[in-house]
Homo-oligomer: A and B are copies of this chain.
Amino acid sequence: MTGKLYGLGVGPGDPELLTLKAHRILTESPVVAYPAPDSGESFARAIVAGHLSPYQLEIPIVVPMRAERFPAAEIYDKAAGEIAGHLDAGHDVAVLCEGDPFFYGSFMYLFERLGQLFPTEIVPGVSSLVASAAALARPLAARNDVLTVIPGPLPDAELEARIKGADTLAIMKVGRHFARIRALIEEMGLTDVAGYCERVSLAEERILPLAGVVEDSAPYFSMILIYKGAEDWIRALPAGKTVHAQ
């Protein structure tokens, strides 16, 4: 019997936002794989570090953060091969995924390679999208609102068209595109209805109106939410801020 492959959503960063299911599968899996940067700690691993045991085999999947080298097919071919070896040997493998595995996650590269070959289960997780709305203290979508999620790396013209056509929208993966995206939002007259979230749900979380961000760059795990026609909300932001850290 082969092992089972799990795509395990571990939530946006707060270790407590792990689900009971992900916790169970994590602690029962003899092999745990996760994305890791070429230097420094794996974020996905850090989220669940408190639950790992020295008896589990760990497979860091080292992915260079520089965009021009990502995604690198060889990296995922090699990782998939290694994981397939453990599955063939009858061991379950839990692949840790920041947020949710199927919401802009790199797990898809392993899923493409292994999902049809081995029994596979996706364990959904709390996405940074809903965690950001919680931190901003404003419903992401209510009643008959349409919600649009837009990746920040899109070129300006497409970004502008998408923003124009949307009501409430979230711009994901802002990172090194921050200055360009902020300029575009300013040009479109939407700065006053834009909120900024950085490292949401972590102790170092930053939540503020986009107009209040003084930096010209942002970390990879940052997001801009735009609620058109909601100037009152932005003005209420400091008072309405929820506190995640206990």
Contacts and interface: CB of A to CB of B under 8 A. Distances in A.
B151 A143 contact: yes
Nearest to A107: B139
B151 A149 contact: no
Contact of A148 (B17, B146, B151, B244): B146
Contact of A103 (B17, B125, B133): B133
Interface stretch (A20-28, A53-61, A82-90): A20-28
A244 B122 CA distance: 9
A75 interface: no
Given A17-B20, A131-B124, A145 B137 contact: no
A124 B17 contact: yes
Nearest to A153: B144
B125 A137 contact: no
A102 B144 contact: no
Nearest to A127: B130
A242 interface: yes
Nearest to A162: B146
Nearest to A12: B124
A142 B21 CA distance: 24
A242 B120 contact: yes
B126 A125 contact: yes
A84 to B, nearest CB: 17
Interface of A: 7, 9, 11-12, 14-21, 23-24, 100-105, 108, 111, 115-116, 120-127, 130-131, 133-135, 137-151, 153-154, 162, 165-166, 201, 236, 239-240, 242-244
Given A7-B134, A12-B124, 13 more contacts: A16-B24, A20-B20, A100-B126, A102-B133, A104-B141, A104-B142, A108-B142, A122-B133, A123-B134, A146-B148, A146-B149, A146-B154, A148-B166
